[in-house]
Amino acid sequence: MENGKELYALRQQKLTDAIHLKETDSVPISALIQGYAVTDSGHTMAEAIYDFGIARKSILQFADYYQPDMLADYTFSFFGKGKCWS
Strands (E), the chain: 30-32, 70-72
CA distance 75 to 86: 16
The tally of domains found in the chain comes to 1
Q: pLDDT of 9-21, one tens digit each?
A: 998 999 999 999 9
Please tell me what DSSP assigns to residue 71: E
pTM higher than 0.85: no
Residue 17 pLDDT: 94
Q: pLDDT of 34-73, one tens digit each?
A: 788 899 999 998 888 888 889 889 988 998 999 888 887 6
Q: Which domain holds residue 13?
A: 4-85
Evaluate if residue 80 carries a pLDDT over 80: no
Give whole-number Cα distances, 32 to 35, 54, 60, 72, in Å: 9, 19, 14, 5
